Amino acid sequence: MSYIEESLSKGERIYQTFPHHWMVKVAIVVHFILAVFTMGVWLIPAILIWLGWRNTEQGVTNKRVIYKHGIISRKTYEMKLSAIESIIIKQGILGRILGYGTIIITGRGASDVTIRWITDPMRVKREIESADYVETEAA
């Protein structure tokens, strides 16, 4: 069971989860290839990237945005939808071409939630705003 599923409160449901962009997998493969040619020098960075990718969850429920990262120790960032003030999208040139970016969610009285290497950040922004709209209507 995922962290997001485990942390659901009564009446809360998962609205959408956001996978990393395929470029993360490309970075992992490149690091493993470099490890072969450099006698393992790039192996540790490759393993760290892979573990980071495998142990990250990011999504939105009908009540909050959730970002979880960590293997042994866990770090989570959560923000209630009602506390969201703005959603910032950052995309470089390569991100625009390949369809990935970073989303920074700012809110009242909470630290920012940053989601990196996200596929189609505009769609993710719309999903978060839609979840907030649905929650506001339900209240």
Burial (Cβ within 10 Å: 0-12, 13-18, ≥19) of residue 98: middle
Helix, strand, coil distribution of the chain in percent, nearest 5? 40, 35, 25
Taking 80 as the threshold, does the pLDDT of residue 136 lie above it? no
Number of domains in the chain: 1
Separation of alpha carbons 30 and 15, rounded Å: 33
> Domain residues for 126?
3-138
Instruction: Specify the CATH number for the domain of residue 30.
Output: 2.30.29.30
CA Rg value for the chain: 17
Q: Residue with structure tokens 């540790």?
A: 44
Read off the pLDDT of residues 71-129 as tens digits, 9 standing for 90 and up. 888 899 999 999 999 999 999 999 999 999 999 999 998 789 999 999 999 999 999 99
Q: Which residue has the higher pLDDT, 37 or 99?
A: 99
Strand ranges across the sheet with 110-119 = 84-90, 100-107, 110-119
Q: What is the pTM of this model?
A: 0.82
